Structure 1
Amino acid sequence: MPSRITDVKPATAQTATEHFAKKFEFETDCWDVHESMRTGKMDFVLLDVRGHASYVAGHVPGALSLPHGKITATHMAEWPDDTVFVVYCAGPHCNGADRGALRLARLGRPVKLMLGGMTGWEDEGFVIERGEQAGSVAQPA
């Protein structure tokens, strides 16, 4: 009798390659965001899509506060149409980043989700910024 793992046959190597390669179109992770920031390769806008109070309590340095419910065509008009957005929320237990990504996609905006959110960022040991930074709320970089 097969285990719970092999009860369903694994995908072929080709199918697995297509699946996992496709995920990178939708997702990035905390380390890649941090490395892009560290090397000055910020070709994206990082959005903290949690409530503003959570942002003030602690956020990724350089992130802008734009709660997912406030992602509208009016707010997004501040950036060129081809601007890539990376969104994050509290962490794996939160679907705010998915909600933000969906809103951006429906507005025709390129978007990726930062896996792990603040939980992942903290787990990596990266610096957390606290307080409201000047020009940080829904303003273009």
Structure 2
Amino acid sequence: MPNPVTAIPPAPAAEVAAHYARRLARETDCADVYAAFAQADHATGDPGFVLLDVRGPALYATGHVPGALNLPRGKMTPRRMAEWPAGTVFVVYCAGPHCNGADKAALHLAGLGLPVKVMIGGITGWVDEGFGLAEG
């Protein structure tokens, strides 16, 4: 007898694998970003990507992910983004699941031809994971 979980059978394993591989190509999470910074090149502090807080400067100043730069979407001009070497991976985040600012920023950066991922959960997810915030 089917139940709410089994009434619709799962997709074939290859289809599920392809779906999640595509999803992970577009997003990361707070724990992975934290781990990347913890494993960053000790000489340069470079985690292999640029973390962008896309909220406004006032919210950024009250608390942000350590290592993040404040760059709201309206400031992501081709000229500004050209300050980073070609191929730089950008990871964007906003306030949290209730905010689509990171999605809009990712769409904008992708439209500029730049590699980008969204840090799902945003600042809310970061705090929920128990990770500290930087101020200023």
Normalised to the residue count of structure 2, the TM-score between the two structures is 0.90
* Amino acid in structure 2 at the alignment position of 1:33: V
Pairwise CA RMSD: 1.4
Unmatched segments (≥5 aa) in structure 2: 42-46
Give runs of ≥4 in structure 1 deviating > 3 Å.
1-9
Aligned with 2:93 (options 84, 88, 93): 88
**What is the CA-CA distance between 1:76 and the residue it aligns to?**
0.3
* Amino acid in structure 1 at the alignment position of 2:61: V
**What is the CA-CA distance between 1:125 and the residue it aligns to?**
0.8
Counterparts of 2:2 and 2:119, CA distance in 1: 36
Counterparts of 1:80 and 1:63, CA distance in 2: 17
**What is the CA-CA distance between 1:9 and the residue it aligns to?**
3.6
Using the aligned pairs only, state the percent identity: 59
Unmatched segments (≥5 aa) in structure 1: 132-141
- Residue by residue, what CA displacement relative to the aligned partner does 1:100-127 show, whole Å, maximum 9, x if unpaired? 1011000000001111110110011111
Aligned with 2:119 (options 107, 111, 114): 114
Partner of 1:56: 61
- Residue by residue, what CA displacement relative to the aligned partner does 1:39-68 show, whole Å, maximum 9, x if unpaired? 214110000001111101110011000012
Partner of 1:75: 80
Normalised to the residue count of structure 1, the TM-score between the two structures is 0.87
Partner of 2:44: none
**What is the CA-CA distance between 1:24 and the residue it aligns to?**
1.3
Partner of 1:36: 36
Count of residue correspondences: 131
**What is the CA-CA distance between 1:2 and the residue it aligns to?**
4.4
Counterparts of 2:75 and 2:113, CA distance in 1: 16
